[in-house]
Structure formats: C-alpha cells, structure tokens
Structure 1
Amino acid sequence: MEQKKQLSLFDLSMIVVSLVIGMGIFRTPVNVAAKAQIPELFFLAWIIGGFIALCGALTYAEIGSRYPVTGGYYKIFSVCYHPSIAFGINCIIVVSNAASVAGVSLIGAEYLSKVILSPEMQTQEYRILIAAVSIIIFYTINLLGLKTSSKTQNILTIIKLVMVITLIGSVFFGEQTTNITPLFSTTDGSAPIWSDYGKALGLCLIAVSFSFGGYQQTINFGGEVKDAKKVMPRSIIVGLIIIIALYMAINYAYVHVIGFEQLKSAESIAAILAGAIFGEIGFTVLSVLIFLSVLGYVNVNLLSNPRVMYAMGEEKALPAIFTKKTKKHDVMIVSLTLFTLLSILTLFYAKTFDQILNYTIFLDGVGMMFSAASIFYLRKKTAHLDKNTIYSMKLYPLLPIIFISAYLFVAVSIYNDDPKAALNGILIFLIFIVIYFISKYFNSKKNTTA
C-alpha cells in the first residue's frame, strides 16, 4: 500500500529541528571549549559540525526517498548489507541509544543536583543515582502504555526551544565577562603546528557530533513527503540553518556571559545564563526545566528503541521473546525492560558524561558510516525509478564521502583520546556478529532435525 504524502516543507523542517536539538547543547560546549583551548577553534568546530550534519542529512534524505518505508533507518541495513552486518549494526545502534539515554540523564542530574542537594552531596555518585531513578520513573510510566507515555512529548519540546531562545537573550541582559585571551598549548610545551590543531579539532567534533545527532532519522520520512524531490532538501537545509544559527548564538552567549576560560570547566552552564538574566530564581527554575526536558528525551527513547527490538524479534533477528507484549496495556515488556537495563548499566559502568560521550559517539559513528554508505548501493539498485518522484542530491558522491570521512576522523580521534571506549565499541560489534552466526547455526540445526 502506497504511503500517503502528507508532510510539508514546514512539517519536515520542524521534524529536523526536533530530532537534532536535544540536551547536548546544555553540556557539550564545556567539552568543546576544553578541547579547543582557544575561541577560534571552538566556534570553527561548531561550524564544521553543522556542515557535516548538512552533508549527512542530505544523504539520508536521498536514502529515505529511494527506500520509502516506515522505520527505514533500521531496515536499510538488511537491504544493503549481509544479514550479520545488519544484525550487528542494528544492535549497536540500540546499545548506542541506551548510552545516549545514560549520558543525557547524567546531564539532567548535574542540573537538578544544584537545586536539591547540599554542596557536600553534589558528588558523581549522587548524580548517577538521580539519573538512574529518572530512567526507572519513565520505565514505570511506559509500562502504563503508549497513551500515557506520549502525552507530554510535544509540550517538553516547546519548553526546550523556549529555553534555548531565552538563554540566547542573556547576551542582551547578562553582564559580559572579561575574557582573557587564551593560548593554545601542546603536551610537550612546544609551539603548536597544524597537526596539533587538527587533533584538537577531532576531539572537539566528538562532542559537537553528539549535539548535532538525530538528523539521520529523516530517513524514516522519505515516503511521506509532498513533492519529495523539492521539499526534502529544502526542509533539511532550512531546519539545519535554524539549528546552526541557534547553536552559534547560544555558544556565543556562553562565551560572552560565562567567559571562555571559565566555560572550559563550568557546570550547569545553561542555568548560569538564566541566572545572569533572572538572578538566583532563574538559575533554580531553569535547572528544574532542563531536568524535565531530560526526562522527555529519556521518555522518547524508551518509546522508540523497544520498537526497534520488537521489529527485530518479528523478523527473527532477535529471539521471539522480544515480541512479547502485556495484555492490559500492549507494552513491549521484554524489549522495554532490556533497553532500560542497558541504559542503567551504561550509567554505572561509564560513570562520567565524558566516558559515555566517547562510547556513544564511537558506536553511533559506526552506524552512521554504514548507513550513509548504503547510498552507493541504493543508487544502483533504484536507478530505474522516475527521477521526478524522488530526491537526488547534487554533488554526489562528494557529500556522502565527506560525511563518512568526517565520522571516520571522529572515530580515530576517539581512539587516540580514549582507546578503551573505542575498543569496547569494536568488541561489542564483533560480539553481535558472533551471536548472529551462533543463532543461525542453532536455528538451521533445529530446522534440520525437525
């Protein structure tokens, strides 16, 4: 059955904005500033990150146009790769998303701890506990069914956008901090060369990539866009221009009000900006609002990821138990419970946002590179399609090559900065490949004996 074309330019532009603007922008500028060392490299990293996101989003727009199915980001792997690769990639995407939930929950805990805990109790252990309780609360809410868990999502998105725009206003209402001109330093104290700046940029892009993530989900809407050939690229460009403008503006506000040197090690940076506008009450109120927005992010992931696991169970990529639902509320109980446990285990295993960030982006980067590379296969497989009904990007194959190369650069940067996170990511991927072949062996043996 052909899907109904109902998404307009405005609809898809807002979807792009909603997918990308998450909670990272309230925390990752600290990481970027620390790695960049100087403001020029700090702002350059955000501009480059936006350009990479544009290359990726246009690539995914064409993939979604050429393979217009619901849940295309999950299904594209099984179409373009060997089943073992598809299984391994989709599993690490779920693990990566669980790590994202853990990382974002920790961001929320950092903000809330400033409000509800005394200074001596504001330790990493208490923040981990707050984050874990937050995940458990929304796990419980999701057990009550889709209707209960989905009511607040649009409201929380609006709150988030209003917060970003309000924080940008601190430039006009907050006092400017005197910025000391920082110098770029090397580990051995020698004068920096281009390779030193390149290494620093790679480390900056780890956190920037986390903040720009989400646009790859545009692949899921390729079959539901009116006049996809024109609307897809325009909406993505419009959406990303809005995002880049907001990100650059709020980062300028961070540097302007907090100061670049202070930004490198600051905590609750968004609440600091709110405090500059509204005083102590602003700091408190915004800290609570950001925590509530974090809960919205946790909720939407607890809604979406179990459905991926459920679909894999239906296609027998995972055991049939993953398709089990509760009778009363029709909840995917096994998939939801396992995803929740993965999020909490990551939280206690990695413990800090920086470690979770490296782990998440490395896993996510593997999925992004493989998914974007599927465009080369799809171009050949769908060459017969009417060019008037699908979107074909300009500057092909340059844009997908730039995108894939950028994520490869980020992956290498993660390995150089945190080899454990990268090696764990590779090990997890290989384990899933082995699990696939073991499962296939036992299934074939079972069929033979039957």
Structure 2
Amino acid sequence: MSIKPKLSRFDLTMIVISLIIGTGIFKSPGEVAIRTGSTQLFFAAWVVGGLVTLCGALTFAEIGARYPNTGGFYKLFSYCYHPAFAFMINWVAIIATTASVAAVALIGAEYLNPILLPQNLQNNTGTKITTIAMVLIVYFINFLGIKMSARVQNLLTIFKVGMITLLCLAIFKSDSGSVITRAIIPTGNPIAQFGLSLVAVFFTYTGYQQTINFGGDVIDAKRNIPKGIIIGIAVVIAVYMAVNFAYYYVLGMGGLQQNTGLAAKMASVVFGEVGSKVTSVLMFVSVLAYVNVNIMSVPRMYYAMAEDGMLPVIFKWVNPRTQAQEFGMSFFVATVLAILFFVGSFGEVLNYAMFFECIGLSTAAIAIFILRKRTSHLNGTGIYTIKWYPLVPLVFIAVYWFVTISIFIDKPKATLVCLSAFAVGLLIYYTAKFGKVGKE
C-alpha cells in the first residue's frame, strides 16, 4: 500500500520545529559555556550555529523540492551516490536517532517523576517505568494515523514554544548579574574550543533534515517542504537566541557553566515556588513531542529501505485508512525500549550522535550539486532554488567538516567506534544483497 499525502504546510512546519527543539536547549547552553568560557565566544557559537543551520535549511529546502520522496533521506543517498552508501548512512542514522530518543525519554521521566510518583518510587526503576509508559502512550497515538499524530504534534509544539517563551520573561523579573559565579576559562587552543562548542550547538539545532522523509506525506510537497523548513528554522533560531540571552542575563557565564537545572532556575525566577513543577511539565511536553515526531519519521526511512529490498517487505506495509506504518512503528518502539538500559550520559550521546550527524548532513548537502544536474529539467518550473548557490551549501559543508575534525581530535575513540558502525552497515548491505542474489 502506497503512502498518500495528508500533511499541510503548517503540519510540516510544526514537525520541523519539534525535530529540532527537544531537550537539548535545556542542556546544551551549559555545555557551550563550559567549552567556550567567554561571553563573546558563547554568543558567537550560537550565532554561527544559527547562520550555518539556516544555510543547511536552505540547502535541504531545495533538496526536498527537487526530490520529494517518502524516506527521502535514504532515497537521496541512493539516487545521488549508491544504494550501499545510502544504507550505510541510514543504518547509523537510525541507530543514533533511536539512542537519542531513548536518552531523551529518560530525561523526561526524571523530570516528571517528582510530581507523578511517590518518594519510594523516585529511583531508577521508577524512571524506567515512567519512560516505558510515556513511549507507549505516544506509540498508541501514532496507531491512530499520521494525521492524528500531526495534530498532537502541533498542539505539543505550540505549547512547548509558548512555555520556552515564558521562561525568557525571567529577564524582566531578575536583576542583571543577580547570580554571580566566576566563569572558568578553558585551557587549550581557542579555535579548537570553539569547534567543540559547535558540537553542542549543532546537536541542539539538528533534526530538521528528517523533514524530507515526509516527502510522500506532504500535500504539494515541492512547494510546501521548502516553505515549511524555512519557516520552522526561522522560529527555532529566534527561540534559541532569546532563551540563551535569558540564560546569560539571569545566570551569567559562571551560572551557565554549572550546567545543572538551567530551565528550573529560570522557571523559579518567573513562577516562584512552583517553578520546579512548571519545568517538569515543560520537559515532559518536550519529550512527548520529540518521541512522537521520531515515531512518525523513522519508520518512513524503513519504508524507503524496504522499497529497495534492503528490509523485509513488511516494513513497507501501510494501513490504507490511517497511513500508519504499524509494523515499522512497532519495530522502532521496541528498539527504543530495548536500548533504554544501555544509553550513556548526555555527553557521550552528544559526541557519538554528532559525529554521525556531521557525516550524514555534510554528504547530504554535497548531493545538491549532483541533484541540480540530474533534475535540471525542473529549473524554471517555480520550485524553490537557493539564491546564493553554491556559497550557501559550501558554507554549511565546510563548517560541519570543521566540527567533524574537532570531534576526531578531541575524541578519537568515539570517532573509531562511529567509523566501525559505518563499516558494519556496509557489511550488512552486501551480505543482504548477495544473500538475495543467491536466492534468485
């Protein structure tokens, strides 16, 4: 059963925002402050991150317009490079996404448990129970159909952005520098430190590339995908710059470097004693939105891989009434629950996930040069095209490779593990391909 378009431009814009704004904005600013150590470099990292992300968004907007397909991220690599490379990239992308969803779900449960469970269950077991329940609730919502999932996503996203905006009101209720803690200046090369700070920034900005997975779900995809991506990124950049200014204004660099309970501290300034409960609700909604949008997105990648015969045909099955991939969603949720007991710290997820993301995003952006040649017949048909081509994609690619090299220099072990994961994906592809040929 093929996938039929049901998502509007507004639905897609909300998806873009939710793919990006997870729990990273409540944690990453502290990481950036630790790695930069100065006010100038802190804000420079977020400004550069926003501008480079905008370059990436414009690039992916044209990619989505020129090549709208279900599971577009996989299809793009297969079309522009080779199916083996496409499988390898998406293999690690799915692993990274699944691990991130599990880690984020655990963070959400930790915030929710103090107002949900009795004292004797506020432990590791209670956290796991809450996490599983939360994932299963979202899983049930997605079973009701892609349109229902999108409606829930819209409500969660609007609430989340609204709550973050409320936190920014702390600047009007706090004296500048009211929390004064001396900032720690990191030792080492400032350029290297700036590169490492961008790892945390891009982790917070990443996710929008999955929007092209909905190419088959979006009504008038060639026009609505570019506009949805650009509007969504613009909202995210505005929210991130506002909340980082608020963090700095209220906490100072030293307070940011403590990197504990940033959102809770802000909420306590705005809402007083009930600030911790407000933070818990905000984190819970953020996690629900993040889990929901990934349950919507990742099975679309399974669909594309099944179309190419690299996954069993059952991954391609779509409920004709709801447009839900019931088996694909079930497999993804089962995988998330299975790895809940193996995810590491936020810092570990940050380094591993961003190495995967940097490789995947930069090579996807390079594909625009190939795609322009192969789809030249679309020129002049009214589809979105990048105005400052090729400067825009080149800036995006160059900065992401700078971050990749920074990770390699700082964490060579993590880099080797990630490269091994790529190699395993390539081995699985050729094993499956030769096995399929042998059966024929």
- Which aligned pairs between 1:430-445 and structure 2 lie closer than 5 A? 430-445=423-438
Shift of 1:146: 5.3
Specify the alignment match of 2:33 in structure 1: 33
Specify the alignment match of 2:302 in structure 1: 309
TM superposition score normalised by structure 1: 0.84
Which of 274, 278, 299 does residue 285 from structure 1 map onto?
Answer: 278
Which of 396, 404, 411 does residue 418 from structure 1 map onto?
Answer: 411
Shift of 1:79: 0.8
Q: CA-atom RMSD, angstroms?
A: 3.5
Instruction: Tell me which amino acid in the other structure corresponds to 1:185.
Output: P
Secondary structure of the residue aligned to 1:264 is: helix
Secondary structure of the residue aligned to 2:378 is: coil
Specify the alignment match of 1:78 in structure 2: 78
Mapped pair 1:370 → 2:363: yes
Instruction: Tell me which amino acid in the other structure corresponds to 1:57.
Output: A
Q: 1:374 to 1:284 in 2, by over 3 A?
A: same
Specify the alignment match of 2:202 in structure 1: 209
Specify the alignment match of 2:169 in structure 1: 169
Identity %: 43
- Structure 2's unaligned 5+ residue stretches are none
Which of 380, 395, 399 does residue 373 from structure 2 map onto?
Answer: 380
Specify the alignment match of 1:179 in structure 2: 180
Mapped pair 1:272 → 2:273: no
Secondary structure of the residue aligned to 2:377 is: coil
Question: Is the CA contact 2:99–2:336 (under 8 Å) kept in the aligned structure 1?
Answer: yes
Post-superposition CA distance 1:251-301 (Å, at most 9, x none): 111122233212223333212211111112132123123213312211221
Distance 1:329 1:6 in 2: 12
Instruction: Tell me which amino acid in the other structure corresponds to 1:23.
Output: T
TM superposition score normalised by structure 2: 0.86
- Which aligned pairs between 1:33-432 and structure 2 lie closer than 5 A? 33-113=33-113, 115=115, 127=127, 130-139=130-139, 142=142, 151-176=151-176, 177-180=178-181, 182-186=183-187, 196-219=189-212, 220=214, 228=223, 239-323=232-316, 332-432=325-425
Shift of 1:238: 5.2
Shift of 1:81: 1.3
- Structure 1's unaligned 5+ residue stretches are 187-191
Post-superposition CA distance 1:383-408 (Å, at most 9, x none): 23332523332332222122122222
Instruction: Tell me which amino acid in the other structure corresponds to 1:56.
Output: G
Shift of 1:107: 3.0
Secondary structure of the residue aligned to 2:40 is: helix
Distance 1:326 1:79 in 2: 27
Q: 1:121 to 1:251 in 2, by over 3 A?
A: farther
- More displaced 10-residue stretch of structure 1: 77-86 or 130-139: 130-139
- More displaced 10-residue stretch of structure 1: 284-293 or 106-115: 106-115
Question: Is the CA contact 2:70–2:301 (under 8 Å) kept in the aligned structure 1?
Answer: no
Instruction: Tell me which amino acid in the other structure corresponds to 2:435.
Output: F
- More displaced 10-residue stretch of structure 1: 134-143 or 282-291: 134-143
Q: 1:419 to 1:129 in 2, by over 3 A?
A: farther
Q: 1:347 to 1:5 in 2, by over 3 A?
A: closer
Distance 1:63 1:325 in 2: 25
Q: 1:327 to 1:207 in 2, by over 3 A?
A: same
Instruction: Tell me which amino acid in the other structure corresponds to 2:66.
Output: R
- More displaced 10-residue stretch of structure 1: 293-302 or 336-345: 336-345
